[in-house]
Structure 1
Amino acid sequence: MNIERLSLDQLRVFVQVADSGSFLAAARKLARAQSAVSYAIASLEDQLGVMLFDRSGYRPQLTDPGVALLADARQVLDHVDSLQVRANSYARGQELEVALAVDVFFPTGCLVDLLRRFRDAFPAVTVRLEIEALGAVAERVLDGRAMLGILGTLPTTPPNLLRITLPSVRLVAVVAPHHALAQVKGRISEKLLSQQTQLVLSDRSELTARQDFSVHSRLTWRMSDLGTKHALLRAGMGWGNMPLHVVRDDLDAGRLVTITTTHHPPQGAELPVQCVYKPDHKAGPALSWWLDSLAELKTLEGTES
């Protein structure tokens, strides 16, 4: 066996014969002489050291090794074709990858909708996606790990980043219905609020490390995952701010209730959301698509939750 001598052309002939059902039909599809197709298959079999087709019948039939190796041949050709598409795109100035940093409060449904549309527009471009909170999103953009970021939980934008204003996210303060704060009628005092455990997102960045945003309690439990915070809120382990789109079903079902404080009106508060990127980052077609698509958003409500 001398696999180093294999050619992509031999693999394409192999796949075409298998798909066409005969050497003659494959030759017609490939616009070649039947003898050339037969020679390509014979050479491939010799190099692999196995018979790919049983030629004893009227039509060639794949052998057991042929069936197994056909799947490998298809995979090799798929990878090669993908390589060619990506190389051609890069030669035209299109990025091979888009790296995004997205705030944990950004609605998943909207993000899924954007990603689906991006995949349809740029099937050869891969996506690297990081979901972060607070200063970690801006930090990813500043250090070059992300081409653009979507900020939500960070109240200020670093001055050395360009920004596009997006539709806002509504935040509500919630607790479980059996929590002590849920029993208070009307507005909750600052003193009482400070005595109850507040669940807050932790900051994994150096940009805003050791800074607190919207923290009103002396007792805090910190976590980096919004799903964990959501579960702890429903378990009655504390109170906290959550995006309305995340807890809407819980509020409707009575698994969570809203609370009113000096900082948290009954209807909730609007959280500004921004897209940020470095002014010196050259935007190719793929990144330009993201900048244009985000700028055109009229709502952050997506098709999935």
Structure 2
Amino acid sequence: MHNRRQVLTPDALEMMDTIERTGSFAAAARELGKVPSALTYSVRQLEDALDVLLFDRSSRQARLTAAGEELLREGRHLLAQIDAVANRVQRVASGWETQLTLAIDGVISQGPVFDLVEAFYALQPPTRLKVRHEVLSGTWEALASGHADLALGVGAARSDNPDIRVELLGEMAFCFVVAPHHPLASLPEPLPATELMRHRVIAVADTTRNLEGLTVGILPGQDVLTLPSLRDKQEALRRGLGCGHMPQYLVQSDLATGSLVRKAVDQPQRVASLNLAWRHKGREPGKALQWWLEHLRHPATRTALLSNAPVCA
């Protein structure tokens, strides 16, 4: 019996496709520039290797059996994939990365990120995108450890890694909010730290695995409910399960509808400087990273990522 991999080749699949499309061995042979006997021999080799009948011999037409139909269906998929791989390899050779991984901090607005992803895919690049959602130190760690190529929302610029470049993305304002039925909602402002300490604060867990995790806005001895994402924190705040700071853009609709109440606290307003950072490894970035850096340097894009405005890419 012939080795299946030796006979189940792209040429054999092309032959099957031509026979089915033209309707006969003779017509297929003319199109492929072969004699009909050579085509018949190739089909028998394929049938012997697979131990199945691919064509119904009782018909004068080249009629596929059920096994032949399945081989042709899967074969067409394989041929399309081979073409796609060849095209991808050609484009990668022209400077496109095979994959680009983005580490995006939870405070970055998701809508504008998807606007950018959509615009990137409109180029039909050969680069595959992978997005990681991180929080606080986890965003930097994903980049520094080599698990990401580009990070959005890095909270503090680090200079201890020569393979990473950092640029200011912009500033994000936070506000202190509680549910309207929370005990702090009815107290006079500004709320002192001594009063805040008596109430549970809601925090989002730092996603770092090896670095020391950060905590922001938690007072010594204060009860803490730690959740995995800002969206979870937002829901917990609406339910009155605690208090805490949130990005202003994220709670605008809650404040407008009364689902949350903004309260002044006896502390300076929290404004975070957020950065974008990327790995450069001493050489020019690939075309995919270049595209992202170019678009992330647009002032309108930076504003959108920090405020949920739409991106005009």
For normalisation by structure 2, the TM-score amounts to: 0.80
The aligned residue for residue 276 of structure 1 is 277
Q: Distance in 1 between matches of 2:33 and 2:268?
A: 75
2:122 counterpart SS class: helix
**Amino acid in structure 1 at the alignment position of 2:142:** R
Q: Which residue of the other structure, out of 287, 290, 293, is the alignment partner of 1:291? A: 293
How many Å separate the matches in 2 of 1:232 and 1:254? 15
- Give 1:54 deviation, angstroms: 3.6
Give 1:169 shift. Answer: 3.8
Distance 2:288 2:203 in 1: 35
What is aligned with 1:302?
310
Q: Write the distance in 2 (CA, Å) between the matches of 1:179 and 1:16.
A: 73
Q: 1:13 is paired with a residue of what secondary structure? A: helix
Q: Identical aligned pairs, as a percentage?
A: 29
Mapped to 1, the partners of 2:25 and 2:178 lie a distance apart of 71
**Taking structure 1 as reference, are residues 57 and 102 closer, same or farther at Cα in structure 2, changes over 3 Å only?**
same
176-185 or 100-109, which deviates more = 176-185
For 1:235, give the aligned amino acid. Answer: R
Using structure 1 for the length normalisation, give the TM-score: 0.82
**Alpha-carbon distance in structure 2 between the residues aligned to 1:284 and 1:248:** 38
Out of 100, 103, 116, the position equivalent to 2:102 is 100
Kept in 1: contact 2:137–2:214 (CA 8 A): no
**Which residues of 2 match residues 235-250 of structure 1 at below 5 A?**
235-250=239-254
Paired residues in the alignment total 297
Residues 127-161 of structure 1: per-residue CA shift (max 9 Å, x gap): 22211011111112122221111125x2x210244
Retained in 1: the 8 A contact 2:153–2:169? no
**What CA distance in whole angstroms lies between the structure 2 residues aligned with 1:26 and 1:117?**
43
Contact 1:21 1:60 in 2 (8 A): yes
- In structure 2, relative to structure 1, the CA distance for the partners of 1:50 and 1:176 (3 Å cut) is same
Matching residue's letter, 1:77: L
Matches within 5 A, 1:136-215: 136-152=138-154, 154=155, 156-159=156-159, 160=161, 161-205=164-208, 209-215=212-218
1:204–1:63 CA distance, 2 compared to 1 (3 A): same
Aligned residue type for 1:238: G
The separation in 2 between residues aligned to 1:212 and 1:222, in whole angstroms, is 10
Task: Tell me by how many angstroms 1:105 deviates.
Answer: 0.9
Displacement after TM superposition at 1:93 (Å):
2.9
Could you give the per-residue CA deviations for residues 237-269 of structure 1, whole angstroms, max 9, x where no partner exists? Answer: 11122234433443344332222223476xxx6
Gaps of 5+ in 1: none
The one-character-per-residue Cα deviations of 1:64-87 (angstroms, maximum 9, x if unpaired) are: 223333332233223323332332
CA 1:18–1:245 in 2, change beyond 3 Å: closer, same or farther? farther
For structure 2, the residue ranges without an aligned partner over 5 or more in a row are none
Q: Contact 1:173–1:264 at 8 Å: present in 2 too?
A: no
